[in-house]
Homo-oligomer: A and B are copies of this chain.
Amino acid sequence: MLNKFCRFALFFIFSLVLFSSIGWAQLMKGPTLSADNRVTFQIHAPDASYVKVINLSDSAALGAPEYQMTKNSGGDWSVTTESCRPGLHYYEFDINGARVSDPAAPLYFGWGKWTSCLEVPDANLDFYLPKDVPHGEVRLFWYVAKTTQTFRKCLVYTPPNYDADTTVRYPVLYLQHGAGESELGWTMQGKANFILDNLIAEDKARPMIIVMDNGYAARPGAENPQRPRGDDNLFSDLVTKDLIPMIDNQFRTIADREHRAIAGLSMGAGQALRIGLGHPELFASVAGFSGGIRRANIESSFDGIFRDAEKFNSTFKLFFFGYGTLERGFESMQAFSDELRAHGINHVWSEPVGSHEWQVWRVHLYECAQHLFQ
C-alpha cells in the first residue's frame, strides 16, 4: 500500500522533512543550499550596520567561524559560505551585537535556547532519514518526579506495532542529550526514532523502547536546574528512583538489567557512564558518545571498574564508547580504547567522521543500537 508512494516520500525527504516545521517559514528567505554544499544565508535588517553569521560549531562545519553579510539596496543582508560539512549545524546571527536566531530557519533547542540549525544532507548516509518503513511513535510523557519534586516531561519512543500486539515486551534504552539541549534533542536533532525505525525494518536492531528525559535536574527548592557535575548524584537519583520504576510501570518493558541500557552524548555521556557503570544491578549495557571519560586511566577511571577485566566482562553485556574523528581528544580516546583492549576489557569503539556534532552522534546511535540487547 505504502510502496507506491516511496518515490514521492524520498523526493520530499530532503526538501520537507529535515526542514520540518511546515508553514509560512518555508515561504520566507531561509538558507538555501547549492549542489556543492555552499549555503546562502539571508535576513532583512534595513537599518543594521553589520550582520554576521556565527557558526556555533568548529570552523569546518560551515567553512569558517563566521561570515560578514552584505546588504543590498532593499535592506536584505546575505552571504554565501564555503562548502559545508554534511550534518546538522547550529548557527546564529549577530545583528549589531545582538545574538539571535534566524527567523526563516528551523530551530532546535540547543545552546540553552531555541537555536537555528542548518541540515546539510550527506550523500553517503541515509540511515537517519525517514523512509517508507513502519514507524514507531514518540510520546510526550508527563510525570511528577519525587527526586526533584517537579513536574517533568520525557519523550518515549515506542517501536512500530507497539500497540498492535500488546503481549510483546521490549528492552529499554535510556538516552541522554548534551549540555544546553533538552529532552527533545534526540528526536528533533538526532532523528533517533527514524534511525531505529530503519534498523528495525532491516532487522539490524532489536525493537526497543527509548526513553529520552531532560538531563537537567535541580534539588527541591533550587531556583534553576544546575548543570550536573561529577559529584552531583541528583540526576542519577532521578533516573534510578523515579524514571526507571515509572517506565517499567507504564510501558511494556522487560524489567531486568539484561534488557536495560543507558547511553548519552557529551554531558549525557558523562551521565550515562556514571549512572550505568555505577549501577550494574540496573544496567547491563552502557554507552558514551563523545564524552564522559576524563583523565582516562584503567586504574582509576570510574573507581577502578576497569581493573578487573574478567569481572567487568562478566558484568556488562555491552560497553560502547566513541568520538568523532575531528573532535579534540579523539586520539587520546582512541588510545584508551586500544589500552582497554590490550587489558582485555570487551567494548565497542566507534569513530565516525566528524566533530562534536549531531552527525557523529547519529552514527554512534546507529552503531550502538545494532549491538544492544543481542
Contacts and interface: CB of A to CB of B under 8 A. Distances in A.
Interface of A: 2, 5, 8-9, 12-13, 16-17, 20-28, 43-51, 75, 92-93, 95-101, 103-104, 106-107, 109, 111-114, 130, 132, 135, 137-144, 146, 149-151, 153, 163, 166, 179-182, 187, 193, 214, 216, 220, 224-225, 250-251
Contacts of A109: 21, 23
A100 B101 contact: yes
Given A26-B224, A150-B12, A182-B23, A103 B103 contact: no
A107 B107 CA distance: 9
A139 B155 CA distance: 9
B113 A104 contact: yes
A54 B100 CA distance: 15
A5 B146 contact: yes
A182 B22 contact: yes
Given A47-B49, A107-B107, A144 B132 contact: yes
A359 to B, nearest CB: 21
Given A25-B112, A151-B9, A166-B166, A140 B141 contact: no
Contacts of A111: 24
A113 B25 contact: yes
Contacts of A43: 98
A140 B139 contact: yes
A59 to B, nearest CB: 23
A23 B114 contact: no
Contact of A44 (B51, B97, B135): B97
15 contacts: A8-B220, A12-B149, A23-B180, A23-B216, A23-B225, A24-B180, A28-B112, A28-B113, A45-B95, A46-B97, A96-B96, A98-B100, A135-B142, A138-B140, A140-B140
A197 B141 CA distance: 12
6 cross-chain pairs, A with B, having the tightest CB-CB distances, nearest first: A24-B112, A45-B98, A8-B149, A46-B97, A47-B97, A47-B96
A96 B224 CA distance: 33
A141 B23 CA distance: 18
Residue of A16, A20, A51, A75 with most chain B CB atoms under a 10 A cut-off = A16
A364 to B, nearest CB: 22
A54 to B, nearest CB: 12
A144 B49 contact: no
